[in-house]
Amino acid sequence: MAAQGRRTQRRNQVLSREQIIDTAIELLDTGGEGALTIRALTERLATGSGAIYYHVGNRDELLDTVTETVVTAAWATEPTRAPATPEDEIRVVALALFDAIAAHQWLATRLILQIIRNPVGPVTVGIFERIGRQVGALGVPRASWFDATSALVHYILGAVSQNAHIDGDTSGVDADADREEFFGAAAAAWQELDPEDYPFMHAIIGQMSEHDDREQFLTGIAIVLDGLTHLR
């Protein structure tokens, strides 16, 4: 038993928390949440499950940790030049989340679950603090800070989650279809609609096929920010 304890201790010393987190992110990126199991981690890292639990806790705790790690890294890559206005800062924070989710498809679901299940967690608090400070700086009355900030956060997470779904989430969408194929198929289907019954749908077919996701995302933020000015 003593020898086994010494082997476990040596293994824990060699295996770092960062290695586990990095490997977990690799598994999530390649196979989604279903690919991240303690068994898969132990096989990939050639270690025992005890070492995993020792460093990062159980699977749910690990998922929270990797979510925080990815979001923190996304914000760390923000421009070194300080944004000129509160609106610019909100766009920077929002685009950092947009790009992080584009790179890590599983992140959208985890962010939403963080907001719902762990309102005092570092990810939830970090998002609301960074957005909320700028809402205050915009001149929104203090009594409306929570509603205004929640509206922005909900738009940001909802929009980036939709883009993540289009780009390859397996729920109801062909995982092998790329973005161009997805919108091409949608445009073809809309083209078949009766133009007298659906004049708007026919009018936007070209716009839908050619739109830029990031620009559309920023347009949505601009609309929300414009609405917030009426709360002053």
pLDDT above 70 covers a percentage of the chain that reads 84
Question: Do 80 and 46 share a structural domain?
Answer: no
Residue 8 covered by a domain: yes
Cα–Cα distance measured from residue 128 to residue 123, given in angstroms and rounded to the nearest whole number = 9
62 within some domain: no
- pLDDT for 169 equals 43
- The rounded mean pLDDT for the chain is 84
So what's the pLDDT on residue 77? 75
In a domain, 63, yes or no: no
CA atoms of 48 and 59, how far apart (whole Å): 14
Do 50 and 81 lie in a common domain?
Answer: no
Q: Does 190 lie in the same domain as 119?
A: yes
Same domain, 127 and 193: yes
Looking at the fold, whether 11 and 75 belong to one and the same domain comes out as: no
d(CA 223, CA 228): 9
Q: What does the buried/exposed string (b/e) look like for 189-199 if buried means 16 or more CB atoms within 10 Å of the residue's CB?
A: eeeeeeeeeee
Is residue 101 located within the same domain as residue 145?
yes
User: Which stretches of the chain are DSSP H helices?
Assistant: 2-14, 17-31, 38-45, 49-56, 59-76, 86-103, 107-117, 122-137, 145-166, 179-191, 199-203, 205-210, 213-228
209 and 164 assigned to the same domain: yes
Number of domains in the chain: 2
Does residue 126 or residue 232 have the better pLDDT? 126
Confidence of residue 136 (pLDDT cuts 50, 70, 90): very high
pLDDT tens digits for 79-126?
666 668 999 999 999 999 999 998 998 999 899 888 888 888 899 999
Domain that holds residue 29: 2-57
Q: What is the DSSP letter of 225?
A: H
Q: Tens of pLDDT along 15-69?
A: 899 999 999 999 999 999 999 999 999 999 999 999 999 999 999 999 999 999 9
pTM of the model: 0.76
What is the spatial distance between Cα 165 and Cα 127, in angstroms, rounded to a whole number? 21
Residue at 23 is within a domain: yes
The C-alpha atoms of residue 132 and residue 46 are separated, in whole angstroms, by 44
> For the domain that residue 43 is a member of, what is the CATH number?
1.10.10.60
Q: What CATH number does residue 186 fall under?
A: 1.10.357.10
In terms of Cβ atoms closer than 10 Å to its own Cβ (0-12, 13-18, 19+), residue 56 is: buried
Q: In the predicted model, is pLDDT for residue 199 greater than 50?
A: yes
In this structure, is residue 182 part of a structural domain?
Answer: yes
pLDDT confidence bin for 204, thresholds 50/70/90: confident
